[in-house]
Structure 1
Amino acid sequence: MSRVIVIGAGMVGLSTAWHLQERGFDVEVFDREGVAAGSSWGNAGWLAPAKTIPLSDPSLWRYGPTALLDPDAALSMPIRFDPKLWMFLARFMAQATQRAWDDTMANLTPIDKVALEAFDELELGGVDAVTHQGPFVIGFEEESQSAGFLREIEGAIRHGQEAPMERLADPQELAPMLSDKVKVAYRLEGQRFIEPGPYMEALAQAVEKRGGHIRTDADVAHVARADGPGRPAVILASGERIEADKIVIATGAWMSRLAREFGVRTLVQAGRGYSFTVATQEPAEHSVYLPYHRMACTPYQGRFRIAGTMEFRRPDEPLYPRRIEAIVNKARDIMQGVDLDDRQDEWVGSRPVTPDGMPLVGQTNAENIYVAGGHGMWGVVLGPATGRYLAQLMDTGEVHPAIAPFDPLR
């Protein structure tokens, strides 16, 4: 039985491990901290293919420069000398055209369309977790704020997705935590959400029940190519060397550190998101999206998770309380019946963003060393489908059309 080491115990890494087991591989997962310790735990848990779209779009040319001067803006970055960050931003902004958006959307659509089915496959295969059906509630303070969101939905539909949507007569009907300031709302069907923490734990348990081992103290310092007749290996910070027949690097925003020497030259920048949970006077039942304020909210273990911010910093930098405060300041204006002063689960996670908005999935220039990551904000929703198709590639050598555009050597 071939042995595979998967580096990274997030949604992408664990999904890949599960699918490799489906194909008969012996799998061990290494992570330096634990299951979902990166960007998988504290995100909004959205399984929303209709919103799994390119991050860079023409509106950035209007919003971006203004946001950098606004301490409460959802887009944030430090003003400091950081050549790598400025190079990433230059390439990211170069994609902020309608033509580039359409090209990237065309490449994302095939995997978007199978994303929910891939979650069904995990659950039918024994993962003891559930996905929750929509609808999503999309709210705006006034009609003019909805133009960008409606344009994005139209773009997803134009590229072949289904996104059933209708206007709500009463925004508070499905989302009582929205204040009277929210005067325009839509219900978006066909999407789902998960509670990320419990779901990830269930996926990890499923991998272990089928004989996999998850090692959560494994700080991988280096990945070594196969030497002559030998096998590739991971080298831990402790100096320990562990060989395997195949290795998958699924380390999210930290991918470049291990993968660059194997020809993966695309920049992977941490786009950090923040979240916290609050109690609500009335139970939260549906996901809520406030596009104008870039806030994504989801029911989470009896509370309401509020997430937001795209902060371009280094992935290991500490949580900056000012970013939490920025989300709170906006929430106070447009929410009611939520206790924003009793926040729990305050979190920051580093999402792996590529300049062209496409993941990095496939074989590197080293035999039997693969990568899976760079999904930006969409690692949770696309993780299971990514794992399915990468396992197929590793088993058969066949590149499925859904991941062909994500060639990590592009």
Structure 2
Amino acid sequence: MPDTKNVVIVGAGMVGLATAWHLQERGVEVTILDRRGVAAGASWGNAGWLTPAMAMPLADPSLWAYGPQAMLDPDAALSVPFRLDTALWGFVARFMSHATPGAWQRAMAALTPIDRMALEAYDELEAGGVHATSYPSRWVIGFEREKESVPFVHELRNVAKAGQEVRLSRLPDGVRVPHLSPKVRSIWSLEGQRYIEPGPYVEALATSVSARGAKVVTDAQVTAVRPVAGGAEVVVQGHDTLRADAVVVATGAWLPDLVRPLGVRTRVQAGRGYSFSVPVEGSPIDHPVYFPARRVACTPYQGRLRVAGTMEFRGPDEPFQPGRVRAIVRSVRDLFEGVDLDTRVDEWVGSRPVTPDGLPLVGRTAAPGVYVAGGHGMWGIVLGPATGRALAEQMTTGRTPPEIAPFDPLR
């Protein structure tokens, strides 16, 4: 829609706000609506990893071995509740159908172009007046046994084959990393990646968007988005209906509520992640730590260590499950030294929007003037700014940038 002059964006997370920022760069007036507030969903408590080298399809062939074991282990990182829910189990079946080498390689090829733009897109935000910082850092990746590293190293080598730079190396035997216990015997280093403190970063992005003239409305429960002559309208509970030249739906795990009537049939399932922050004795840990075999990601956060994990397939609004936090603690307790896992603050659950094929949904819906931006799974933070830039280009020029062409919401 090249004559787009004003846009309503539904969703004030990283993806929605980055889209708003880039539309403003193109002279578009923006209004942003959110039912709770800025960064109120998955954008707040995640690990904050800007790791394009690890932004890969979630469904990989190892799930065929790991998945059935996880179903029987209450502490497993993958969690699916045992209950009669045909929609949920239908999603799980479709998700598993993509856990093949061929499907993984096709999805990785589709993700690589936007992965390669990810860090540059952060540079653009920060150079353009967003007062927040992305921190370059090495990643320390630990395994108890050498054989556990084989699947992870294999995956990253395949990421490199797909066209990304992957600077992964193994530390020599006997090299100790502070705060890792002697049980962590195989230690690797990944360079060239970054991290952020996600909640503060997204809030800084919202501040920048507001300072440039956008209206951010919270406590705005959107109940419908539909096309009208000359654009689209947004129905908001308790508010006047809004009209605009175009609307972007960027509501994360809640996307289906608004976009299924608009021709978007790809299921989006909430893949809930949990996190908390803990103190560290002595010098703080100043780099991310990842335990792939335990599926636990740790990041420096405001002088503490944020510990994140779990892929829990439940409804996005279901209650917090304290057992998931306890499972994360049990899984890494023997891998750390000097990390107080019992003094936890900011216990959190957030719903990440997962698609069966591992690809986001970005672009036009079947309704004229209505676009969708979401379905990034675990990679909404790292890919959000690049997604916003590409979608803003599509909306203002009518051309679909090649990096989002594979993410057609009508596929």
Structures share a fold, TM > 0.5? Answer: yes
Please tell me whether the aligned partners of residues 172 and 178 of structure 1 are also in contact (alpha carbons under 8 angstroms). Answer: no
1:194 corresponds to: 196
Q: Distance in 2 between matches of 1:301 and 1:172?
A: 27
Change (3 A) 1:140 1:6: same
Please tell me whether the aligned partners of residues 226 and 367 of structure 2 are also in contact (alpha carbons under 8 angstroms). Answer: no
1:171 to partner: Cα distance: 7.8
2:232 corresponds to: 232
Equivalent residue in structure 2 for 1:215, among 214, 217, 224: 217
Residue type at the aligned position of 2:335: I
1:213 to partner: Cα distance: 1.1
1:265 corresponds to: 265
1:109 aligns with 2:112: yes
Q: Distance in 1 between matches of 2:180 and 2:218?
A: 40
Q: Distance in 2 between matches of 1:399 and 1:86?
A: 34
SS in 2 for 1:232: strand
Task: State the Cα RMSD in Å.
Answer: 1.1
1:217 to partner: Cα distance: 1.1
| Structure 2 residue ranges without an equivalent (≥5) | none
SS in 1 for 2:409: coil
Change (3 A) 1:133 1:172: farther
Residue type at the aligned position of 1:112: D
| Structure 1 residue ranges without an equivalent (≥5) | none
Q: Distance in 2 between matches of 1:319 and 1:170?
A: 41
Per-residue CA distance 1:125-163 (angstroms, 9 max, x = gap): 000011101100110011011011001101100101111
Q: How does 1:229-308 map to 2 (within 5 A)?
A: 229=229, 231-238=231-238, 240-281=240-281, 282-308=283-309
1:35 corresponds to: 38
TM-score, structure 2 as length reference: 0.97
1:238 to partner: Cα distance: 2.0
Q: How does 1:33-72 map to 2 (within 5 A)?
A: 33-72=36-75
2:342 corresponds to: 341
Residue type at the aligned position of 1:385: A
Q: Distance in 2 between matches of 1:49 and 1:92?
A: 22
Please tell me whether the aligned partners of residues 11 and 384 of structure 1 are also in contact (alpha carbons under 8 angstroms). Answer: yes
Please, which moves more after superposition, 164-173 or 392-401? Answer: 164-173
Residue type at the aligned position of 2:390: Y
1:225 to partner: Cα distance: 1.6
Q: Distance in 2 between matches of 1:155 and 1:318?
A: 37
Change (3 A) 1:378 1:171: farther
Per-residue CA distance 1:65-108 (angstroms, 9 max, x = gap): 11011011000011001111111111100001000000000000
Please tell me whether the aligned partners of residues 171 and 185 of structure 1 are also in contact (alpha carbons under 8 angstroms). Answer: no
Please tell me whether the aligned partners of residues 231 and 368 of structure 2 are also in contact (alpha carbons under 8 angstroms). Answer: no
Q: Distance in 1 between matches of 2:135 and 2:63?
A: 32
Q: Distance in 2 between matches of 1:199 and 1:260?
A: 31
1:271 to partner: Cα distance: 0.3
Q: Distance in 1 between matches of 2:52 and 2:30?
A: 29
1:240 to partner: Cα distance: 2.8
Change (3 A) 1:331 1:362: same
Equivalent residue in structure 2 for 1:25, among 20, 24, 28: 28
Please tell me whether the aligned partners of residues 140 and 290 of structure 1 are also in contact (alpha carbons under 8 angstroms). Answer: yes
Please tell me whether the aligned partners of residues 56 and 93 of structure 1 are also in contact (alpha carbons under 8 angstroms). Answer: yes
Q: Distance in 2 between matches of 1:150 and 1:335?
A: 22
Change (3 A) 1:203 1:69: same
Per-residue CA distance 1:14-38 (angstroms, 9 max, x = gap): 0000000000000011000011111
Please tell me whether the aligned partners of residues 171 and 178 of structure 1 are also in contact (alpha carbons under 8 angstroms). Answer: no
SS in 2 for 1:309: strand
1:370 to partner: Cα distance: 0.2
SS in 2 for 1:102: helix
Per-residue CA distance 1:233-285 (angstroms, 9 max, x = gap): 11112263111111000000000100011110000000000000000013110
1:230 to partner: Cα distance: 5.1
Q: Distance in 1 between matches of 2:71 and 2:293?
A: 16
Q: Distance in 1 between matches of 2:389 and 2:28?
A: 13
Please tell me whether the aligned partners of residues 226 and 370 of structure 2 are also in contact (alpha carbons under 8 angstroms). Answer: no
Q: Distance in 2 between matches of 1:172 and 1:21?
A: 49
SS in 2 for 1:189: strand
Equivalent residue in structure 1 for 2:139, among 136, 140, 156: 136
Please tell me whether the aligned partners of residues 16 and 250 of structure 2 are also in contact (alpha carbons under 8 angstroms). Answer: yes
Residue type at the aligned position of 1:326: A
1:320 aligns with 2:332: no
Residue type at the aligned position of 1:329: R
1:13 to partner: Cα distance: 0.3
1:170 to partner: Cα distance: 6.5
Q: Distance in 2 between matches of 1:193 and 1:206?
A: 20
TM-score, structure 1 as length reference: 0.98
1:329 corresponds to: 330
Count of aligned pairs = 407
Misfit runs of 4+, over 6 Å: none
Change (3 A) 1:171 1:241: farther
Q: Distance in 2 between matches of 1:401 and 1:329?
A: 44
SS in 1 for 2:403: coil
1:125 aligns with 2:162: no
Residue type at the aligned position of 2:105: D
1:43 to partner: Cα distance: 0.4
